[in-house]
């Protein structure tokens, strides 16, 4: 019954959003609301397809797929923003994705999982490596900002491209390290998945279909943002860091919280933290390189507000996860920090 209701909601919201986009008969606020509702349903569909594929691919590859396809919405939304030259919103959305995953997704997972289980444990070695990678991401974003005032535009572009290439290389080496050379040391205990939602072939087909739907819906969403932002006087920083990020993170929300409630906290942590690392070490650098094809390089210089938010999120997430053990109150701490940052960004 629930699956049928979800399917009806998915199809209805997508069709309504299409009508709203192409007819132009609805106000911008209604168009944005319909786009947001539709993309949440599509992200949920993406999460279900990813979890089903993960059943056949295994825990490690499954977690990576959850993070990768969960980030599809952010990457696709950001691509269209880069194409339109809206670099500030792109950087704000990158910031929002990182802090959203580290604070909101991880916080909700620890809270919901912790309410059902007094204490949940995951691989402590993986937690340690994740913490180190978080610090690498912070360093990689802080250094260009620190040198920005002393560099010309050309030199800043060179530095941004260099940092982007180095981070992509570091991320690919991390995947090789964690999935090949040290996969046994970093693996969690095997947990039963239960029955998958669909067959292997159908799961892959739905994964591709959901990603395509995210791409289409993301383009419609970006089209309504500029009008909505000006109409309600919201800053690009707040819209990018919170509105776009929360919508784009819907897939991670559903997948990670669902896994935490099933006592699969290792997979939930990997989705939340792994998604943040993927955004910082791969998606953001890729967007810098993509911008080259549109004639103007997006630099990797983030504002002081964005750097503070990312640094704060990385510090508390590392502090909470480094012992490989979690409880519901640690989830509360992460959510409190997210609320504080949200209020600060809204008031800027």
Nearest to 134 by CA among 280, 322, 267, 301: 280
Q: What gap in Å lies between CA 161 and CA 7, rounded to an integer? A: 43
pLDDT in tens, 302-324: 989 999 999 999 999 988 888 88
Sequence-distant (≥ 6) Cβ neighbours of residue 319 within 8 angstroms: none
pLDDT at 24: 78
Nearest to 186 by CA among 261, 249, 273: 273
pLDDT band at 191; cut points 50, 70, 90: low
Q: What is the pTM of this model?
A: 0.80
Sequence-distant (≥ 6) Cβ neighbours of residue 148 within 8 angstroms: 156, 299, 301
pLDDT at 269: 83
Distances (CA, A) of 347 to 27, 130, 235, 244, 340: 25, 32, 9, 17, 11
pLDDT at 229 exceeding the cut of 80 = no
pLDDT at 220: 81
Per cent of the chain over pLDDT 70 is 91
Q: Enumerate the β-bridge partners of residue 326.
A: 120
Long-range Cβ pairs for the range 323-326 (8 Å, 24+): 323/124, 323/127, 324/121, 324/122, 324/123, 324/124, 324/126, 324/127, 325/119, 325/120, 325/121, 326/110, 326/113, 326/114, 326/119, 326/120, 326/121, 326/122, 326/265, 326/269
pLDDT in tens, 319-341: 888 888 889 999 999 999 999 99
Q: What gap in Å lies between CA 186 and CA 178, rounded to an integer? A: 7
The stretch 148-164 carries a mean pLDDT of 90
pLDDT at 6: 85
Q: Which tokens belong to 262?
A: 């099933």
pLDDT in tens, 113-125: 999 898 988 888 8
Nearest to 270 by CA among 52, 61, 40: 61
pLDDT band at 221; cut points 50, 70, 90: confident
Q: What gap in Å lies between CA 110 and CA 175, rounded to an integer? A: 25
pLDDT at 197: 72
pLDDT at 162: 94
Which residues in 205-321 belong to E strands, given as ranges? Answer: none
Q: What gap in Å lies between CA 276 and CA 259, rounded to an integer? A: 18
Q: Enumerate the β-bridge partners of residue 246.
A: none
């Amino acid at each position: 019954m629930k699956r049928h209701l979800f399917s009806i909601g998915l199809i209805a919201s997508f069709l309504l959003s299409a009508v709203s986009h192409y007819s132009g008969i609805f106000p911008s606020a209604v168009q944005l609301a319909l786009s947001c509702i539709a993309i949440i349903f599509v992200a949920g569909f993406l999460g279900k397809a990813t979890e089903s594929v993960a059943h056949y691919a295994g825990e490690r590859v499954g977690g990576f797929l959850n993070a990768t396809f969960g980030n599809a919405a952010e990457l696709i939304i950001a691509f269209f923003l880069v194409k339109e030259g809206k670099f500030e919103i792109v950087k704000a959305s990158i910031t929002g994705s990182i802090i959203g995953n580290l604070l909101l997704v991880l916080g909700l997972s620890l809270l919901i999982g912790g309410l059902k289980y007094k204490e949940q444990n995951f691989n402590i070695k993986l937690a340690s490596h994740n913490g180190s990678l978080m610090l690498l991401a912070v360093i990689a974003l802080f250094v260009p900002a620190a040198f920005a005032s002393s560099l010309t535009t050309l030199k800043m572009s060179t530095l941004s491209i260099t940092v982007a290439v180095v981070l992509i290389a570091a991320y690919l080496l991390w995947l090789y390290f964690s999935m090949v050379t040290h996969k046994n040391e970093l693996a969690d205990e095997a947990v039963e998945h239960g029955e998958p939602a669909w067959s292997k072939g159908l799961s892959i087909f739905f994964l591709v279909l959901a990603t395509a739907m995210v791409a289409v819906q993301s383009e419609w969403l970006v089209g309504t943002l500029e009008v909505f932002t000006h109409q309600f006087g919201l800053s690009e920083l707040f819209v990018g860091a919170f509105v776009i990020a929360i919508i784009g993170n819907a897939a991670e929300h559903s997948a990670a919280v669902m896994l935490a409630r099933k006592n699969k906290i290792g997979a939930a942590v990997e989705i939340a933290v792994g998604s943040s690392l993927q955004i910082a070490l791969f998606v953001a650098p890729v967007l810098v390189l993509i911008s080259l094809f549109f004639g103007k390089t997006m630099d990797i210089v983030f504002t002081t507000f964005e750097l503070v938010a990312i640094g704060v999120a990385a510090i508390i997430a590392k502090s909470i996860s480094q012992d490989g053990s979690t409880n519901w109150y640690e989830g509360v701490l992460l959510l409190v920090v997210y609320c504080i940052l949200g209020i600060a960004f809204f008031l800027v």
